[in-house]
Amino acid sequence: MTSSDKPENAPETAAESTEPTGSAQSAGSTERTGIAAQDWARASAEPQYRAAVVDLLGALAYGELAAFERLAEDAKLAPTLADKAELAKMASAEFHHFERLRNRLTEIGAEPTEAMEPFVAALDGFHRQTAPSDWLEGLVKAYVGDSIASDFYREVAARLDADTRELVLAVLDDTGHAGFAVEKVRAAIDADPRVGGRLALWARRLMGEALSQSQRVVAERDALSTMLVGGVADGFDLAEVGRMFSRITEAHTKRMAALGLAA
Amino acid sequence: MTSSDKPENAPETAAESTEPTGSAQSAGSTERTGIAAQDWARASAEPQYRAAVVDLLGALAYGELAAFERLAEDAKLAPTLADKAELAKMASAEFHHFERLRNRLTEIGAEPTEAMEPFVAALDGFHRQTAPSDWLEGLVKAYVGDSIASDFYREVAARLDADTRELVLAVLDDTGHAGFAVEKVRAAIDADPRVGGRLALWARRLMGEALSQSQRVVAERDALSTMLVGGVADGFDLAEVGRMFSRITEAHTKRMAALGLAA
């Protein structure tokens, strides 16, 4: 399914690389400086950094748990038993990611439930506002949601200490969503091109809702925001956060075009 | 939920035995004869036996997939994030059982979807008729449903060839339900004894619905039924199936009493 973790000059193809995609790339992945050059033991001596990582892992953990629920719910809409099993498999993979994040929170002395709580409202809000009305909407949502989350966390990963970065990149590993969703959605558009128009609108709505919930989280969680804009301790720079959102939106637009949907 | 695979006089304690419970016990687990003494390669030479095993694995596989969905659904009712994570974990364990059964069906040359199809209506019917209205009803259902299914498959396992028996017993391995459900339900009854009355009625309804759906399956699936009553090829003996249901009901009654619910 991938690409940019390949040697130089490998063809750029897919959406599920394990490194930041070109358009969503940020702090260079070549030479690490600052916190990114440290391990957790050293980086966590800074209380504000530690708080930011607990926030980040809490958000990611609840995101995985919510994704588990969403996929299990979507499995009910599956047209065949094989599709149902495929979604159940993805849900189960999300659950195992959740377990790793929860265990890591415990390991660094944080209470997982407390770490997740601040993100429940935003994530539940997102899922409530974007309940798919059929199987294809569910697939597009899984694909779009995962890709956006993945872009976001890869942006963040570049600013993390080596140990946390490794965990974050591991749980972002493709769970098989993207390929499955893309294949099914393309087939549906081929069979009936009007489906493309409806799904394009749906994808736009998903993106809008995702951005609005993310901005809410960023505005509310100072420690997290501070880290997002480069690990500086003197408040967060809305312009930099804005640029990150632009990069993510741009990557989304490219993915939608590849899927046959005008974003 | 019991005990009776232990040596005589062993203390009555645990919840996760891997052998039939006393009351639901059937064809002796000591000395295997007939098909139970054979491996799959030999036993499957008999087409009727092969068909019965495909039925059985198909029913069990869809049961696990449906259990995955039910638990994921119940996870939404969880009062805390920790409870939600616990149910998601169980759901994920059911999914892995499903995977093993599906892989086994493929291995023996059966098409998993076709093998599952005949049991979809009965299992979906059961779940539709018994949608829990709250968290405790969901827990009681998971506990009762699992225990009954487990008793049933253990009865059947005693009549299976060694390879199939091993797989069936493995996927019946406790997923952590029982202990979790029992603890939460007991605590709720302690806190408010009236809860016990309501849940006892609920458990009775679950048992009635489970029996009626099982009898439907047994009546419709000749190959399976024939095996159930001892592997004889000359039609099935309703009286023997009735006795099996009695043993299962009796085991259920004991479990409910242990839980503080009059069954």
B67-110 confidence digits (pLDDT tens): 999 899 889 899 999 999 999 999 999 999 999 999 999 999 99
User: Does A130 score more than 80 pLDDT?
Assistant: yes
Report pLDDT for A84. Answer: 94
Instruction: Report if residue A137 sits inside a domain.
Output: yes
Q: Which of B72, B81, B99 sits opposite A113 (nearest CB)?
A: B81
Domain range for B181: 42-258
> Mean pLDDT of all residues in chain B?
81
Domain presence at residue B32: no
pLDDT at residue A22 in the model: 41
Q: Quick one: closest CA in B to A80, which residue?
A: B113
Residues 155-214 of B with CB under 8 A from A: none
pLDDT at A25 exceeding the cut of 90: no
A23 domain-assigned: no
Per the structure, the count of domains in chain B is 1
The answer to whether the Cβ–Cβ distance between B65 and A88 falls below 8 Å is yes
- Within 8 A by CB and 6+ apart from A53, the residues are A40, A44, A108, A160, A161, A164, A227
Q: Is the pLDDT of residue A135 over 70?
A: yes
pLDDT tier for residue A263 given thresholds of 50, 70 and 90: low
For A230, the token pair is: 């480069």
For the cut 60, the answer to whether the pLDDT of residue A23 exceeds it is no
Indicate yes or no: CB of A69 within 8 angstroms of CB of B68: no
Residue B6 reports pLDDT greater than 60: no
Q: What is the mean pLDDT of residues A235-251?
A: 74
User: Widest CA span of chain A, in angstroms?
Assistant: 57
| A98 contacts on B by Cβ (under 8 Å) | 85, 88
Contacts of A72 in chain B (CB under 8 A): 68-69, 72-73, 75, 91
Reported confidence tier of residue A257, pLDDT bands at 50, 70, 90: confident
Q: Which residue has the higher pLDDT, A39 or B10?
A: A39
Selected for mutation to probe chain B from A71, A76, A90, A95 (highest B CB count within 10 Å) is A95
Q: Per the domain annotation, does B163 fall within a domain?
A: yes
Which pLDDT band, with edges at 50, 70 and 90, does A27 fall under?
Answer: very low
pLDDT at residue A230 in the model: 56
Residues of chain A found within 8 Å of residue B63, distances taken between Cβ atoms: none
3 state DSSP class of B217? helix
pLDDT attached to residue A10: 36
Q: Which residues, at least 6 apart from A105, have a Cβ–Cβ distance to it below 8 Å?
A: A54, A57, A58, A61, A111, A112, A115
Measured between CB atoms, does B91 come within 8 Å of chain A? yes
Higher per-residue pLDDT: A236 or A220: A220
Q: Is the pLDDT of residue A239 over 80?
A: no
Chain A and chain B share a number of CB contacts under 8 A equal to 74
Q: Is the pLDDT of residue A218 over 50?
A: yes
**Looking at the predicted structure, is the pLDDT value of residue A66 above 90?**
yes
- Summarize the confidence of residues A219-227 as an average pLDDT: 72
CATH number of the structural domain spanning residue A163:
1.20.1260.10
Q: Do A113 and B80 touch (CB under 8 A)?
A: yes
The least confident of A6-20, A221-235, B90-104 is A6-20
Residue B34 inside a domain? The answer is no
DSSP classification of residue A20: -
Complex prediction ipTM: 0.72
Least confidently predicted of A234-248, B97-111, B198-212: A234-248
In angstroms, the first-to-last Cα distance of chain B is 15
Kindly report, residue by residue over B43-70, the tens digit of the pLDDT. 899 888 899 899 999 999 999 999 999 8
B89, B95, B113 member nearest A81 (Cβ): B113
Binned at pLDDT 50, 70 and 90, residue B4 comes out as very low
Note the pLDDT tens digit of each residue in B205-250: 898 888 888 777 777 777 776 666 555 434 446 677 777 778 888 8
Domain assignment present for B36: no
Crossing angle of the two packed helices B47-75 and B162-171, in degrees rounded to 10: 10
Handedness of CA B139, B132, A60, A261 (dihedral sign): positive
- Flag whether A187 is in a domain: yes
Half-sphere exposure of B45 (CA within 13 A, CB side): 6
The answer to whether residue B160 scores a pLDDT higher than 70 is yes
Examine the pLDDT at A64 and tell me if it is beyond 90. Answer: yes
Distance CA A151, CA A21 (A): 8
In a domain, A11, yes or no: no
Helix axes A112-129, A47-75, angle to 10 degrees: 50
